[in-house]
Amino acid sequence: MPTKNRQILLARRPTGEPVAGDFDLVTTAIPDPADGEISVRTIYLSLDPYMRGRMNAERSYADPVEVGAVMEGGTVGVVEASRHPGFADGDIVVGRTGWQDYALSNGDGVRKVAPPDPGDPPISTALGVLGMPGLTAYTGLLNIGKPQAGETLVVAAASGAVGSVVGQIGKIKGCRVVGVAGGPDKCRYVVDELGFDACIDHRAADFEDQLAAACPDRIDIYFENVAGRVLEAVIPLFNFFARMPVCGLIAQYNMTDLPDGPNKLPMLMRAVLTNRLTMRGFIVREFWAQQDEFLREASQWIKDGKLKYKEYRVAGLERAPETLIGLLKGENFGKVVVEVSPDPTR
């Protein structure tokens, strides 16, 4: 058994794209729980684009990670020692215990995950399709996008953890679904495996023309994950009373100044007015009350073969910094999961 606890700390605040020197790997003692606490060994660590924002000091929807503190992140772990009446040694739990081998928790925000039966999805999916990204997709699309059969839904970052679920739920609800992804391999996966009606490579020179051709009835819902060129191509295609859930802005996360080129804000605001567009940013925690409903529906969709998922796994906590840096550049293909320690359910 390990005798030390590895932790990855925020060493300094990045300027633009994060680099390896923005992180620090340290070794500390494995913590012992006090009364009312549990000690959790991390099995899987989730990496997600929002983490880039937590590295900044600016005001946002959540407090930033302090310099010198453990990087924030969702995890699936096993309770190694419990002094909490609600948890027992060996329980599998999902929570937000960060980039480290071991963590203490008082149980707030931690929920148990049942060990999977044969044929069930692995416990790592509690960080993806059956976790925060899946709930984000479900609640953002249904509460803000309000899909109706026959409508056209365009999904940015369509092969990613959130976008892939958004598009599949859109198909379940009877929409024509057009994905946007980076590269032909991701686009083929989105169409051939996930069942989207079309997928456009945003790196193509004629991306804007291809998107317009794939949306002959224009766009009723645009699920925003990236902004940048993709949003600019979508704006002229909105239908009257279109809806735009704003979940992420990956293209802007590393920006240190305003982009070069013409100001597109007037074009956006004209579209908002003339199309009577509903555009709303949201954070998944607004919809935690729908978690049980989501888990019931999504679990059944997986069993029925209507909801598929793909994981991008990396072995070793020490590789988390380089993997997050790559994620922000679109190098991953699927939900990013870091394998931190052996999974006792496999």
Per-residue pLDDT tens listing for the chain (346 residues): 677 999 999 999 998 899 999 999 999 999 999 999 999 999 999 999 889 989 988 877 778 999 999 999 999 999 999 999 999 999 999 999 999 999 999 999 999 999 998 889 999 999 999 999 999 999 999 999 999 999 999 999 999 999 999 999 999 999 999 999 999 999 999 999 999 999 999 999 999 999 999 999 999 999 999 888 999 999 999 999 999 999 987 766 665 566 677 777 888 888 889 999 999 999 999 999 999 999 999 999 999 999 999 999 999 999 999 999 999 988 889 999 999 999 999 8
The closest of 81, 89, 84, 78 to 42, measured between CA atoms, is 78
Q: Within this chain, do residues 179 and 231 fall inside the same structural domain, yes or no?
A: yes
The closest of 6, 10, 51, 31 to 324, measured between CA atoms, is 51
What is the DSSP code (8-state) at residue 243? E
Q: Within this chain, do residues 14 and 144 fall inside the same structural domain, yes or no?
A: no
Amino acid identity of residue 82, one-letter, is: S
Amino acid identity of residue 240, one-letter, is: F
Q: Within this chain, do residues 116 and 188 fall inside the same structural domain, yes or no?
A: no
- How far, in Å, are 51, 94, 127, 246, 312 from residue 339 at the CA level? 18, 14, 12, 30, 10
Residue 49 three-state SS: coil
Structural domain count of the chain: 2
Specify the CATH number for the domain of residue 219.
3.40.50.720
Amino acid identity of residue 272, one-letter, is: V
Q: Within this chain, do residues 113 and 238 fall inside the same structural domain, yes or no?
A: no
Q: Quote the CA–CA distance of 55 and 323 in Å, as a whole number.
A: 15
Q: Quote the CA–CA distance of 264 and 106 in Å, as a whole number.
A: 47
Q: How many helices (H) and strands (E) does the chain have?
A: 9, 15
Domain span including residue 76: 4-128+309-339
Q: Is the residue at 296 inside a domain?
A: no
Q: Within this chain, do residues 72 and 168 fall inside the same structural domain, yes or no?
A: no
Q: Is the residue at 38 inside a domain?
A: yes
Specify the CATH number for the domain of residue 74.
3.90.180.10
Q: Is the residue at 40 inside a domain?
A: yes
Domain termination residue (choose one: 270, 285, 300):
285
Q: Within this chain, do residues 322 and 190 fall inside the same structural domain, yes or no?
A: no
Residue 38 three-state SS: strand
Q: Within this chain, do residues 124 and 78 fall inside the same structural domain, yes or no?
A: yes
Q: Is the residue at 302 inside a domain?
A: no
Identify the H or E element spanning 255. none
Q: Is the residue at 33 inside a domain?
A: yes
Q: Within this chain, do residues 105 and 142 fall inside the same structural domain, yes or no?
A: no
What is the reported pTM? 0.90
Q: Is the residue at 297 inside a domain?
A: no
Q: Is the residue at 298 inside a domain?
A: no
Q: Within this chain, do residues 45 and 74 fall inside the same structural domain, yes or no?
A: yes
Q: Within this chain, do residues 142 and 199 fall inside the same structural domain, yes or no?
A: yes
Q: Is the residue at 345 inside a domain?
A: no
Report helix angle 291-303 to 163-172, nearest 10: 80
Query: 324 Cβ partners below 8 Å, 6+ apart?
Result: 18, 47, 51, 52, 336
Which tokens sit at 228?
């940048």
